[in-house]
Amino acid sequence: MNITRLEPVYKDYIWGGNKLNEFYGKNSGLSVTAESWELSCHKDGMCRIIDGDYAGRTLLDAITDDPAALGEKAARFEFFPILIKFIDALSDLSVQVHPSDEYALKNEGQYGKTEMWYVVEAEEDAKLVYGLNKEVSREEFAELAKGPELMNVLNFVPVKKGDVFFIQSGVIHAIGKGLLICEIQQNSNLTYRVYDYDRTDAQGNKRPLHVEKAIAVSKLGTEPLKTSGELVLKNDTVTVENLATCEYFVVDKIVLDGTYSIVPDGSFISVTVVDGCGKIGGLEVSKGTTVFIPANAGSALLEGNMTVLSSYVK
């Protein structure tokens, strides 16, 4: 399997904007492009391969034919391990929470969701919700979740470009309006909505809430907050910063002005360009491009002036 660019899958949720089409090289054909699924082998949206012998086929088809492209570290997962997306929030996303693997497998027959956000763009005064501002009981939470009083116990965090948020399953959260985020997450599309501002879709219908399930899985207290990564490498041409490391994924931020080689180590690598342009493995890339590097591809040369997120499993 070749190093290849991937064709995204697009979602037109009611809170989305159009920055992805206008500024990130997307051509969704949708009036609203809320999400661009950049790396996905999920049943709700399969990315297709653009380059090489597998062009036009889904990524899942390709790694089924060539399991070595997945890598032995990634092969330990029952399903393809991660999903990567861009999220463009023209308005606030719902207040929500994701279950743990244990709860999700028992009650939903699928895996839970731990995720990480990298803030690609943030408008002035943009903010998001990360956990609660005080501890509450499950009974109190159930009462608050009946209406806008819930907003009084949410922890609102001001956000700027380049901030990082690691969100474990069970942490209540919400992306605020004016944010464009790259999200790296478990390969899951399981979300429990707690509050959705009583808004309706074009047909006048409210989106379903999942309050009882949310109460069962939520961490109802304050959560430690970390908004930056840890420096791994810095020289005249490249800076590498580890943004997140967990049992499900590892994410590094690479800021490049020149050349830099990345080498798969038992896992595929997904490289998403969040700023600038250049080449990855000889392929032309620009802001918004995602490239899949198979585990058996050998090294891949990054060239140019760009900022990328490199995602893999340990």
Same domain, 144 and 249: no
Among 195, 217, 239, identify where a domain stops.
217
pLDDT in tens for each of the 314 residues of the chain?
999 999 999 999 999 999 999 999 999 999 999 999 999 999 999 999 999 999 999 999 999 999 999 999 999 999 999 999 999 999 999 999 999 999 999 999 999 999 999 999 999 999 999 999 999 999 999 999 999 999 999 999 999 999 999 999 999 999 999 999 999 999 999 999 999 999 988 788 899 999 999 999 999 999 999 899 999 999 999 999 999 999 999 999 999 999 999 999 999 999 999 999 999 999 999 999 999 999 999 999 999 999 999 999 99
Same domain, 117 and 209: yes
Active site residues: 193
The whole-angstrom distance between residue 294's C-alpha and the CA centroid of its chain comes to: 20
Same domain, 247 and 288: yes
Same domain, 43 and 97: yes
Same domain, 117 and 237: no
Among 217, 243, 260, identify where a domain stops.
217
Same domain, 234 and 194: no
Same domain, 93 and 19: yes
- Bridge partners of 179, per DSSP, are 89, 122
Nearest CA-CA partner of 42 in 3, 8, 71, 65: 8
**Long-range contact pairs involving 39-42 (C-beta distance under 8 Å, separation at least 24):** 39/6, 39/82, 39/83, 39/84, 39/270, 39/272, 39/290, 39/292, 39/311, 40/9, 40/83, 40/84, 40/85, 40/187, 41/79, 41/80, 41/83, 41/187, 42/80, 42/83, 42/187, 42/188, 42/189
Same domain, 212 and 235: no
Structural domain total, the chain: 2
How much is the pTM? 0.97
In a domain, 222, yes or no: no
Same domain, 201 and 254: no
Domain of 257: which CATH number?
Answer: 2.60.120.10
Output b/e per residue, 92-129; b: 16+ Cβ within 10 A.
bbbbbbbbbbebbeeeeebbbbbbbbbbbbbeeebbbb
Domain of 287 in residue numbering reads as 230-312
Q: What value, to the nearest 5°, has the Cα angle with vertex 230 and ends 134 and 291? A: 105
Among 192, 217, 242, identify where a domain stops.
217
In a domain, 223, yes or no: no
